[in-house]
């Protein structure tokens, strides 16, 4: 099963690091959302102030110049609302990630590399920043398909750049509840749909 003490300590440390990163990003996302919310309120106030005369003239003017002017003020507000909704969705994903950041791991060695890379798979992705290491891969990402499709040995996945080949050395599954590692086990069996449904919903 591979559940020895060293492995358990490693996995608990890795889980703690992942949750810590998610908590940090959640704080940043909340701050960004509050800022965007304030910008929306201010932008709406500006629209009311700048277009009060234009709105009344919509009912009397035949040339729709007032409508064009109004749309110039409203479009930026709409953009800000979209940005705010994206930030709120990010907050939702991060809150879920803090409770249970991933459910699987594979150790995969790319053909042109010497070492196996530990790849954690969850319901959504998490990276330190745009350029640094990926902490968790979304289960829908190409590389995550290895977990569902292959047993240990030669494996591949199809990426936008083409087929990527290598060797799969480990398939590990986790039960994480409210940020606590309940248990994990190593498996060399292909995943069935029912199991996936239990993990992903």
Contact (Cβ atoms closer than 8 angstroms) between residue 87 and residue 70: no
Quick check: 22 pLDDT over 80?
yes
Closest CA to 124 of 53, 26, 27, 34: 26
Each residue's pLDDT tens digit, 146-170: 999 999 999 999 999 899 999 999 9
Host H or E run for residue 95: helix 65-99
Contact (Cβ atoms closer than 8 angstroms) between residue 143 and residue 119: yes
Host H or E run for residue 74: helix 65-99
pTM of this structure:
0.76
């Amino acid at each position: 099963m591979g559940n020895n003490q060293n492995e358990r300590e490693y996995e608990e440390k890795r889980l703690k690091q992942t949750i810590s990163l998610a908590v940090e990003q959640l704080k940043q996302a909340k701050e960004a959302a509050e800022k965007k919310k304030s910008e929306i309120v201010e932008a709406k106030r500006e629209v009311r102030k700048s277009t009060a005369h234009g709105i009344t003239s919509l009912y009397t003017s035949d040339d729709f110049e007032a409508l064009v002017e109004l749309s110039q003020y409203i479009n930026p507000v709409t953009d800000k609302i979209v940005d705010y909704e994206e930030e709120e969705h990010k907050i939702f994903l991060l809150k879920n990630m803090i409770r249970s950041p991933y459910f699987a791991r594979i150790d995969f060695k790319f053909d042109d590399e010497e070492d196996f890379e530990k790849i954690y798979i969850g319901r959504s992705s998490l990276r330190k920043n745009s350029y640094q290491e990926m902490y968790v891969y979304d289960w829908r990402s190409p590389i995550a398909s290895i977990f569902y499709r292959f047993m240990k040995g030669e494996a591949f996945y199809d990426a936008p750049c083409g087929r990527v080949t290598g060797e799969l050395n480990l398939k590990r599954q986790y039960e994480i509840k409210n940020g606590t590692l309940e248990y994990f086990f190593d498996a060399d069996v292909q995943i069935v749909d029912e199991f996936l449904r239990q993990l992903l919903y």
